[in-house]
Structure 1
Amino acid sequence: MNHQTLLTNYLSNLQVELFMVSYNRCDTDWRDLDYTPDYSKFYFICEGEGWLKIGNEEYYPTPNQLILMPEGIKQSYSAINDRPFLKYWCHFSAKVGGINLFQILKFPHICTIDQPELIQGIFSSILTYAKSDEVYGHMMAKSKLTELLSHYIMNLDLNQISFINVPVMEKLSTILAYIDSNIEENISVQDLAQIAYMHPNYFIRFFKQQIGVPPILYITGKKIDKAKELLTCTPNTITAIAEHLGFSDLYYFSRQFKKHTGLTPTEYRKQKTVLTT
C-alpha cells in the first residue's frame, strides 16, 4: 500500500475539535517563549511582521501564509517591530482513533496560500459559527475547521507529509494491503493479528487506535465498497456478489449494505443504472 493510500485512510477518519478562534491585531508586546501547548494552532497572516519558533525551526511569516503549530511541540513567538501581525487564528485538536494526528504525521509548518480570500472566508465562517447561538453553530464551526485543514493539505506537496513512526506505519501498510488483496475471503482478526505478530486482543486496540474503527468494521466497509463496484460494473446477481465477497447470508449482506450506503443492493444498482443511462 503506497504513501497516499495510507494517508487517505488516516485523514478520512480524522476528528477535529475547535477550542477558540479570533481575528485581531497582536500587541507590540505579543510574546511567549518556550512553552508547549496541549492544543494545535493555525495562524493566517493578513498583515504585519513577527517571529515564530516551532521545535528547532525559526520562521518570519509573511501575509497570505497559513502556519500550523502542532500540539506537544515546544514553541515561541514574538513581535519584532511596531507593525505586529494582524491575523486570524484558532486553537484546535485533530485526532485519529483518539491519537493526536501530529504524533502520527509530520506536516510542514508553513504554506503560502494561492487564494488568500478563500482562507479568509473560511476563517470568517468559523468565527461566525463559533459565536452563533444556533444549535448547529458549533457543528458548522467544526465543519469549517475541517475544510481549513483540507485546504492546508491541498496546498502542500504530499511528499512533504511524512509518517513519524515508520515501523508502525509499515506494519499497518502490510495489514491494509492484505485486506485489499483478500477482500473476497473471510478475513479474521486472528489472521491479521498473526501478520502483525500481535495477540488478537492487543491487535484490535492497535488497529482501532491507528485507523479509527475496529478491524471487522473496516473489513466490512471494504467489502461493501467492492460490492458497490461489482453492482455497478458487472451483471452478476446480488446473491452471487454476496457469496463472492464471503457473505453466506444474503439477508445479512443486504442489511450491512444498507447500513453503509442507505440503500439496498437492488436500490443501489437501479440508481446507478439510471445515472449512467
Structure 2
Amino acid sequence: MGDLIPTFSHMGFILKGTGTMMVNHQEIHPSKGQLYLLPAKTKQTMFTDAQNPYELYYCHFNIGSCGTELFDSLNLPLCIDVKYPEKAISLCENIIQALEAQTLTSFIQSKQYMLNLISCYLESCPEDSVSFQESLQDSPIAQAIAYAEEHLDQSISVKKMAEVAGYHPSHFAKLFQEKLNISPVQFLIHKKVDYAVEQLTATTRPISEIAEALGFSSQFYFCNFFKKQTGMAPTAYRQIYFRNGSK
C-alpha cells in the first residue's frame, strides 16, 4: 500500500503474518497478537511480507471533540502487545457483525464495541507510555471549530470562523495552524470528507443526500470534491470498504 494521509484513524489486530508500517517517520512492525494504531491525518505506508502476508482485523474510525482527534491529544505507542487477545478478537468480530446488521441499534452497538477496543488498546499500553498534550477545550478556537462542525451544510469562510473566535482572520489562521498543525481551510475540507466517509461506510444513504447534507449544489460537484481528496469516487469508496471491511 502506498503513502496515504487518511482523515480517519485505523486500528488493527494481527492474527498472523509480518510486515512494516510507516506512520510519518516512525516505523513499526506489528506481529501476531498485537494491536497497532495509525492515527488520522498522518502519512501512512504499509508493506506486508509476500511470503508471510498479514491476516488481520482492522477498522476505520474517528473519535474526538472540538475538531481534535483523540490521538492528536495523546502521546502513545503505535504498536502494543494485547493483554487479552481473545477480548480484542471478540470485539473486532462484534464490530463486523454489528455493521453488517445495518440497523440503528446495531450501529450504536458498533460504536460501543469500537470504544471498548480503544479502551483495550489503552489498557495494554505499557505503564507511563501514554500522556496528554495541550487541550483546546473551551478555547476560542474550540468555539470556532464547534461552529464549523454544526454548519457543514453551509459555505463557511475562515473570516466567519475568526469572527466566532473573536480574532482577526490573519491572526486566527496563524493561531489555528500552530495549535492544530493544519490550516482552517484544510480543516474544513477534512471535516467534510470525514462526514462523507462516515456516511458512505456506516450507512446506505444515497450519495445525492450526502452531497446535499454537506452543502454541495449537486452530486456532481460533491463527487469531484471527494475524488480529489481521497483518490476515489464515492461509489467506488463505498464498494471497496464493504468488500474489504471484514477479516
The two structures have a TM-score, normalised by structure 2, of: 0.54
| 1:115 equivalenced with 2:53 (yes/no) | no
**TM-align CA RMSD:** 2.6
1:50–1:78 Cα contact (<8 Å) kept: yes
Unaligned runs of 5+ in 2: 148-247
Corresponding residue pairs, total:
147
| 1:66 equivalenced with 2:35 (yes/no) | yes
Q: Stretches of 4+ moved more than 4 A in 1?
A: 206-209
Q: Pick one of 40, 60, 69 that aligns with 2:9.
A: 40
* Percent of aligned positions that are identical: 23
- Alpha-carbon deviation of 1:104? 1.7
Measured in 2, the distance between the counterparts of 1:60 and 1:80 equals: 11
| 1:205 equivalenced with 2:128 (yes/no) | no
Q: What residue number does 2:74 align with?
A: 105
| 1:53 equivalenced with 2:22 (yes/no) | yes
2:5–2:40 Cα contact (<8 Å) kept: yes
- Alpha-carbon deviation of 1:101? 1.4
- Could you say if the C-alpha distance between residues 52 and 204 of structure 1 is closer, same or farther in structure 2, counting changes exceeding 3 Å? closer
| 1:83 equivalenced with 2:52 (yes/no) | yes
AA in 1 matched with 2:56? K
- Could you say if the C-alpha distance between residues 207 and 77 of structure 1 is closer, same or farther in structure 2, counting changes exceeding 3 Å? closer
- Could you say if the C-alpha distance between residues 59 and 203 of structure 1 is closer, same or farther in structure 2, counting changes exceeding 3 Å? closer
Aligned to 2:60, the other structure's residue is in SS state: strand
2:67–2:142 Cα contact (<8 Å) kept: no
Structure (1/2) with the larger strand percentage: 1
1:45–1:64 Cα contact (<8 Å) kept: yes
Aligned residue runs from structure 1 range 67-216, under 5 A:
67-157=36-126, 159-165=128-134, 202=140, 205=143
- Alpha-carbon deviation of 1:103? 1.8
- Alpha-carbon deviation of 1:102? 1.9
The two structures have a TM-score, normalised by structure 1, of: 0.48
- Alpha-carbon deviation of 1:208? 7.7
1:49–1:81 Cα contact (<8 Å) kept: no
Q: What residue number does 1:176 align with?
A: none
Measured in 2, the distance between the counterparts of 1:204 and 1:129 equals: 33
